[in-house]
Amino acid sequence: MTEQSQRDPKNEAIRTAYSSISATLLAERVVKGWWEGCLSTSALSTATAVMALSMADEAARDESESAHFRELVMAGLQWLADHQNEDGGWGDTVLSVSNISTTMLANAVFHATQRVDTYEHVVAASQRYIDDAGGVDAVLKRYGKDRTFSVPILTHCALAGRVDWRHVLPLPFELSCIPAKFYAAVRLPVVSYALPALIAIGQVVFKKRGHWNPVVRWIRRAAIKQSMRVLESIQPEHGGFLEATPLTSFVCMSLLGCRFHDHPVTRRCLEFIVASVRPDGSWPIDTNLSTWVTTLSVNAMAGCPSVVADDEQAMTLDAGDRQRIREWLLSQQYNVVHPYTNSPPGGWSWTDLPGGVPDADDTPGAMLAILNLRSGGEQYAEEEITALQNAATWLLNLQNRDGGWPTFCRGWGALPFDRSSNDLTAHVLRALTLWRSRVAGISREFAARSDAAVQRGLAFLSRTQADDGSWLPLWFGNQFNHDDENPLYGTAKVVLALREIGHGDQPFAVRGIEWLVSNQNDDGGWSGRRGLSSSTEETALAVEALAGMPEADSAVISGANWLVGQVNDGSVADPSPIGFYFAKLWYFERLYPIIFATGALRRCLEPRITVDGHPHKI
């Protein structure tokens, strides 16, 4: 492949690979026309679900319910035994290296269910891993000041009799009784999305440990009923907090530990856990990322009509497809205050299910998809204009004082997963800028506010760039890199955004481009950093960010060749665990490599991108 052929939209190798991978992506849609995806099965989710169900079995309403719980527990234990790593530990996914958190959770359930003798070798090997890794101290060290995950893990182990309750730090669940608008001010010891854990786990730790201070004891006893009312009010109708099995299971086991066997929250948690099990006896980390993977898919394919219109083999979204997806996306926007985070109307979450929460990654993704679902000079409908205006307002109100965007709530800056982040900020800048350029009739005052917010976001990205020119993301990592960091993801997302909004020639953007080019592997692919094994997801992200740039031609050619090779040998769809769920909980999504490769190869087919001060049409 020559430089000229890489620029030529008729390049057959790329066109053929693009047609193949985009056809695969289109075939992954559900019957109604959008995407649902498939999240990785999780040893951590399975261990927590088994723990909750085993405790529920002891308080089952009848023998039929008890038998069903036991059946699920036995299948979950067998799945854990079958998927133990060679070192005796478990990772968060079947593709993950072992970690202390998941291993302690899995080890504990074999003890809690009194199946140590049945799985003697499994338990012994996992105990050796725990002892070598450092046990409780290792868990506390892994999460530092953030108690969002360390306290639930140790609570699970204490309920199983594997950790002394004195090692489980208390949580001030009484703070949930104050008005939600003050949560940021009191600086809760857990991140904004972990309020259910604060309440339920805080109560079971208090029940087991008490408190040395009589005033605190009185306050916490008095707060039990009110905090339970808060917990009930924020539970989704089908029981799953954030659609997440681990969070729901932690809440469930804690309430069972408090003897709240028949409480409505406990019962709904159990219903969700039972409904979420997979046929092989395991549980996924979350139900699905349907909204997120749909917007990613739309935006990956958005440019294909103009790029491959003369190709009869090209796979595209036709007018009917676009209309169905557009209507579905519009129906997913939150039009009321969210009961969980008190988020105002206007945002989108990652899923169409009731456990989702609006956030600053899915909202710009939905904005971009709605904008991109209209082709050429097609007019936007009034409902689309209104939805986009409301989403822009939601994002502008979420921006932090430092100029960046957090995930869920403005002003929560004490813990890492609540702070402004580079990847979210870059995504928001893309959405706001494309919205400003595509939609007419925006008031002068609102346009000025949006432009000012973009400038503050740019200043944030300039300040947070690392000395080597890279940016770190919040929600993605690389398990083989130092501190699980993935500067490739963060840098690719920021560089792509800067180019699209007309700032690709700024010095800090150029430094990011140089970092991407210099960190390409010798095989032509990319990973979290140079020297680690290349992956489809990371290579595609780099190619998408650099495609069409003269100074990166050679790197893009090599990267495109690498992706074409993966398409040709069938390995392009092999996923990598690069996603972080809450509190650095690893996952992979089966559609990520397909989506990312589609977007990257499509970019390679476009005419060269020029920096002209206007956003690039995706």
Residues 270 and 56 sit within 8 Å (Cβ to Cβ): yes
Q: Angle at Cα 586 formed by Cα 585 and Cα 592, nearest 5°?
A: 135
pLDDT given for residue 440 in this prediction? 85
Residues 544 and 492 sit within 8 Å (Cβ to Cβ): yes
Give the integer Cα–Cα distance in Å for 367 and 486.
Answer: 26
pLDDT given for residue 2 in this prediction? 42
pLDDT given for residue 9 in this prediction? 43
| Strand-strand pairing, 586-587 and 41-42 | unpaired
DSSP code per residue over 475-521: SB--TTSGGG--HHHHHHHHHHHHHHTT-TTSHHHHHHHHHHHHT--
pLDDT given for residue 179 in this prediction? 75
Q: Where are the alpha helices (DSSP H) in 288-409?
A: 290-301, 304-308, 319-332, 362-372, 382-398
Give the integer Cα–Cα distance in Å for 239 and 610.
Answer: 50
Q: Does domain 41-284 correspond to CATH entry 1.50.10.20?
A: yes
Give the integer Cα–Cα distance in Å for 268 and 371.
Answer: 38
Contacts of 27 (CB under 8 A, 6+ apart): none
Which helix (H) or strand (E) segment holds residue 580: the answer is strand 579-580
pLDDT tens column, 560-592: 999 999 999 999 999 999 998 876 789 999 999
Q: What is the 3-state secondary structure (H, E, C) of 508-531?
A: HHHHHHHHHHHCCCCCCCCCCCCC
Give the integer Cα–Cα distance in Å for 384 and 158.
Answer: 51
pLDDT given for residue 12 in this prediction? 86
Same fold, 3-39+288-605 and 41-284: yes
Give the integer Cα–Cα distance in Å for 193 and 408.
Answer: 8
CA distance from start to end of the chain: 24
pLDDT given for residue 315 in this prediction? 53
pLDDT given for residue 378 in this prediction? 82
Which helix (H) or strand (E) segment holds residue 42: the answer is strand 41-42
> Which whole-number Å values give the CA distances from 528 to 249, 291, 433, 487, 551, in the listed order?
32, 26, 28, 6, 21
pLDDT given for residue 62 in this prediction? 84
Q: With a cut of 50, which residues of the chain have pLDDT below it? A: 1-10, 304-314, 609-618
pLDDT given for residue 192 in this prediction? 59
Written as six digits, the tokens of 597 are 């490769």
Domains of the chain: which residue ranges? 3-39+288-605, 41-284
Q: Class of the 3-39+288-605 domain?
A: mainly alpha
pLDDT given for residue 414 in this prediction? 63
Give the integer Cα–Cα distance in Å for 595 and 599.
Answer: 6
Written as six digits, the tokens of 234 are 């924020």
